[in-house]
């Protein structure tokens, strides 16, 4: 079973000024971030504006990322769709492009019908047909659904389901999953806002928007804890919480892209209906980056 460990940034998808996919910019960002001690990259997660891309664009993004990701780093690919059929097809395309695992957000349009039985059957069908391991993605802020521990553990029993990225931040539920899942199952923190407490609880990794703009700080939290230096890990965690909030819940993808532009990476525009960050927010975010001495070498 694939074990996910360490820190992985969910890459924003690069668009040019006409909002056309810019594969060369995706590759450039990966090359620059690969200088840090990151475990790999996620292409087309929530920060990758996956829902804004066509099927063909998704395949192009997978291939661009795979070409740039070094052999010692893993590639995770977001493949979750609203139908089981769509998700199966996209998961196979991601595997064909060279993804090491597929990150599958649960269907959410028909929320009232997404029962435990429906979700277990959905994920089981994907895992049965997938050439690569499947990782469950629980993202209540975007999906409007928060899968409970019982549902997640039932899905996790499938031999080709290797882990979960949980962005809900419910540490008690995370502990239930860690305690109840099969050996080797990876529980992954979905936000830098609760990375350290999740790791202390037994999570093995973090897929963190913040790692796109603070890769050193995010990996230092992980490495400091692994070395037994909890105090250093706590200091960095506390310092990064406001920065993380600004590029996630407060201003979201447009803020993350603007921060990348400020730091010498390529952020570029979001795709409409998302709008670029407003002037006052840009000034506040830039000041926050400078105050925390964030930079990409």
Active site residue 60: no
Q: How far is CA 258 from the centre of its chain?
A: 18
Q: What are phi and psi of 78, to 5 degrees?
A: -75, 130
Looking at 13-143, list the stretches that DSSP marks H as alpha helix, in order from N- to C-terminal side.
23-33, 55-68, 84-97, 116-129, 140-143
Complete domains list, the chain, with CATH: 6-230 (3.20.20.70)
Please report, in tens digits, the pLDDT of each residue of the chain (297 residues total). 799 999 999 999 999 999 999 999 999 999 999 999 999 999 999 999 999 999 999 999 999 999 999 989 999 999 999 999 999 999 999 999 999 999 999 999 999 999 999 999 999 999 999 999 999 999 999 999 999 999 999 999 999 999 999 999 999 999 999 999 999 999 999 999 999 999 999 999 999 999 999 999 999 999 999 999 999 999 999 999 999 999 999 999 999 999 999 999 999 999 999 999 999 999 999 999 999 999 998
State the Cα–Cα distance between residues 77 and 97, nearest whole angstrom.
Answer: 10
By C-alpha distance, which of 40, 179, 167 is closest to 105? 167
* pTM assigned to the model: 0.97
Cβ(282)–Cβ(254) under 8 Å? no
Catalytic residue among 165, 182, 234, 235: 165
User: 91-121 in b/e burial notation, b at 16+ Cβ within 10 A?
Assistant: bbbbbebebbbbbbbbbeeeeeebeeeebbe
Q: Which two three-digit tokens encode residue 121?
A: 């059957």
By C-alpha distance, which of 189, 210, 214 is closest to 199? 189
């Amino acid at each position: 079973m694939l074990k996910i460990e360490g820190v992985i940034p969910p890459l924003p998808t690069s668009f040019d000024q006409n909002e056309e996919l810019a594969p060369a910019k995706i590759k450039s960002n990966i090359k620059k971030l690969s200088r840090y001690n990151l475990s790999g990259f996620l292409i087309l997660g929530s920060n990758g504006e996956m829902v804004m891309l066509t099927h063909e664009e998704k395949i192009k993004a997978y291939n661009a990322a795979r070409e740039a990701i070094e052999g010692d780093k893993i590639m995770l690919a977001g493949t979750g769709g609203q139908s089981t059929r769509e998700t199966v097809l996209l998961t196979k395309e991601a595997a064909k492009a060279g993804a090491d695992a597929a990150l599958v957000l649960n269907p959410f349009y028909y929320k009232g019908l997404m029962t435990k039985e429906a979700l277990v059957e959905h994920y089981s069908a994907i895992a049965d047909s997938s050439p690569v391991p499947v990782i469950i993605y629980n993202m209540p802020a975007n999906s409007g659904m928060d899968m409970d521990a019982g549902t997640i553990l039932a899905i996790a029993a499938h031999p080709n389901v290797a882990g979960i990225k949980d962005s809900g931040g419910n540490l008690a539920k995370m502990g239930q999953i860690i305690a109840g899942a099969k050996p080797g199952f990876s529980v992954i923190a979905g936000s830098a806002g609760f990375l350290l407490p999740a790791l202390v609880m037994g999570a093995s990794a973090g897929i963190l928007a913040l790692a796109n703009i603070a890769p050193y700080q995010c990996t230092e939290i992980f490495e400091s804890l692994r070395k037994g230096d909890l105090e250093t890990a706590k200091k960095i965690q506390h310092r990064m919480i406001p920065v993380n909030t600004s590029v996630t819940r407060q201003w979201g993808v447009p803020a993350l892209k603007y921060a990348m532009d400020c730091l010498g990476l390529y952020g570029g525009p979001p795709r409409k209906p998302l709008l670029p960050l407003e002037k006052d927010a840009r000034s506040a975010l830039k000041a926050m980056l400078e105050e925390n001495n964030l930079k990409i070498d």
